[in-house]
Amino acid sequence: MESSSESGGTGTKRVRALPKYVILRTTAGQEVNVALMLEASSQALKSKGIYSIIVPPEIKGYIIIETEGLHIVHRVARDIKHVKGKAMGSLRPDEVERLIKVKPPIEELRPGDIVEIISGPFKGLKASVISVDTQKNLVTLNILEASFKMEATIPADNVRLYKRR
């Protein structure tokens, strides 16, 4: 892109690149540590061009880096422990949004699923989903660990998907 300079001559104007989302492979379980080390390395090298580091909760062994270019990630991640693969390719912003968007628990539940109750009087028990009421955000469950058939209706926020049937 050409533009005129103030002195009247013509010159080239550097256009800032659009940010890219790059995936970096790490040791599973060490994603947060790698993200913190990347941040420290970026600051130590006074590297500009890394805008954010995302640790997707549902994808083990990978982190997403928002950056100007792949070369910046290679330079910053060069000597970091637990980085298993070089940054390759890039993701579109809509793909990143889909990966990090938190889905309400009630959207994931279907009758027949096995859930773990995470709060309330039945905390820690496993149960089978009988019905899901999305309007009221309630789930009707059959408690599996009871010695008799026991149904309970509790808020969907109090359960976590344990196993899909």
Domain ranges in the chain? 15-100, 105-163
Please provide the size of the chain in residues.
165
Report for 2-16, 69-83, 102-116, 121-135: range of highest mean pLDDT: 121-135
Listed residue (155, 157, 150, 104) closest to 127, CA to CA:
150
Q: Is the dihedral of CA 155, 157, 160, 164 positive or negative?
A: positive
CATH architecture of 15-100: 2-Layer Sandwich (3.30)
Mean pLDDT score, 57-65: 87
CATH architecture of 105-163: Roll (2.30)
Q: Say how far apart CA 34 and CA 53 lie, in whole Å.
A: 10
Amino acid making up residue 58: E
In this prediction, what percent of the chain has a pLDDT beyond 90? Answer: 36
